[in-house]
Amino acid sequence: MSDPSPTVYLDHAATTPMLPAAIEAMTVHLAEVGNASSLHASGRHARRVVEESRETIAQALGCRPGDVVFTSGGTESDNLALKGIFWARRAVDPRRTRILSTAIEHHAVLDPLMWLAEREPVERADVELLPVDQRGTLDLDALRAAVERDPSTVALISVMWANNEVGTLQPIDEVVAIAAEHRIPVHTDAVQAVGAVPVDFATSGVDALTYTGHKLGGPYGVGALVVRREVEVAALVHGGGQERDIRSGTLDAPAIAGLAAATELAVKQQAEHATRVAQLRDDLVRRVTEVVPDAHLHGHPSERLPGNAHLGFPGCEGDSLLMLLDARGIECSTGSACSAGVPQPSHVLLAMGCSEEEARHSLRFSFGHTSTAADVDAVVAAIGPVVERARSANRKSR
């Protein structure tokens, strides 16, 4: 028997429940047989499912169907964009050894960048992580200076659309404008953004965009790299030549159908969803800071994801707060789900100028399509005693 659902689930930035429309779209095809690369009738049917899903996603994201490359999710898409574009650009021009990014990227970007930076000299990338301000916004002057120092050596710029921890939206338009002056491709990790804020690939001017299904009500294990066909991308996985020969592997037609249904609905309902969850978030921030007066919000006060409330609680350890709330049936996060449980300060908060102690005392509450006012009530009722207990435990441990 599976565990019962939590009383309050406020970790939608880590993953959100599947939408009924996505479950239906996926399950319709689960009992069907057919490899989308096969030429017989069953194969052609699977191919039709994939291509119709590709068209649905393209319409929702403002790109061409041929720009959509299906992957297993955000991490693979980020790796494919960073390594694939870097290798392809450097193969044409060996001088292009530099990749510019930010110090607050998700580890799905930071870790492959560090991997590239540690290669043998012939393959090594010169990675520069640009600073952000105290609100978590990229320093555009630093970006421009880094580019103009020697634009002929820059292979790629990668800046996330929205930060997964503190929710700050990045100035993608300005990043693209700076890059365009020197014809440098721009990649953005938009995993947290699609379905939460308006995202239009063509209008944005970026060359590659990462997104995944399970953040917006689709299934786990499926996502896409949206990349302009004009951009050369070296393959990471070789085999059957699927997906423009840059991502081989048998396509998961049922999951892709679920991804398309979730994407279409999330984008269609984005404005209404953003208004609703922003109201819940603002109510939570206001009421929690009334109960705990020295609690404070991290990130940009207005240019942020609508469902993100990243709060600092001085004198507490975030892990302690998380477990105390969990014991009361309230689920949230200390930041990035991919590093949860690791006793280290948030690299995002450190980059924003917080001390190591300040970078450990935070919780991220993130709202989604199942969130309600009752969830806020539950957090407000619990937060006072939980913070006091966490502070007491912290004092005794010193």
Catalytic residues: 338
Cα dihedral sign for 149, 83, 200, 277? negative
Residue 89 one-letter amino acid: R
Cα dihedral sign for 244, 229, 142, 199? negative
Strand partners, 130: 102
Torsion of CA 242, 243, 248, 254, to 10 degrees: -90
What is the C-alpha radius of gyration for the chain, rounded to an integer number of angstroms? 22
Rounded CA gap, 343 and 69, in Å? 36
Residue 43 CA: distances (Å) to CA of 36, 107, 316, 345: 5, 37, 56, 49
- Find all residues with CB under 8 Å of 64, minimum gap 6, and list them: 58, 229
Rounded CA gap, 50 and 54, in Å? 6
Give the rounded distance of the alpha carbon of 115 from its chain centre. Answer: 20
Asked if residues 147 and 184 have their Cβ atoms less than 8 Å apart, the reply is yes
Rounded CA gap, 151 and 132, in Å? 21
Rounded CA gap, 217 and 271, in Å? 16
Residue 253 one-letter amino acid: A
Backbone angles phi, psi at 331, to 5 degrees: -110, 125
Asked if residues 125 and 113 have their Cβ atoms less than 8 Å apart, the reply is yes
Residue 363: in which H helix or E strand, if any?
A: strand 362-366
Helices (H) and strands (E) in the chain, counts: 12, 12
